[in-house]
Amino acid sequence: MSTQTTNTTNGLGYGTQFTRYVLSPAQQKFLVKLQDWMMTNKSSLSSNTVLSIDPLQVMEYISLIVKILKQDGYDEEDRFIINHIRYLYLKDKDTLPF
């Protein structure tokens, strides 16, 4: 009797594993800053004409940041969203009067 094994891929290529990143203290501090910024500006983020983010999307972003902080790291596919949140934060800071 022979056994057959099936290898699955995650879209990155045959047998390729996702890269997992561990947070540095500076990254952790910045993610806490992003989380605080999003929590205090939840309603204004969706009404801001420059950013105009869907309120559900804001909650998803906050949930992702909380998950990353809790796990002290993030997966490779999360870095695109993190960079997007960072961009929104920097864009919002550009619109502030100080």
Domain boundaries, the chain: 20-95
Grade residue 5 by pLDDT with cuts at 50, 70 and 90.
very low
Q: What is the dihedral of CA 82, 26, 51, 74, to 10 degrees?
A: 10
pLDDT in tens, 33-81: 999 988 888 777 766 655 667 888 888 999 999 999 999 999 888 989 9
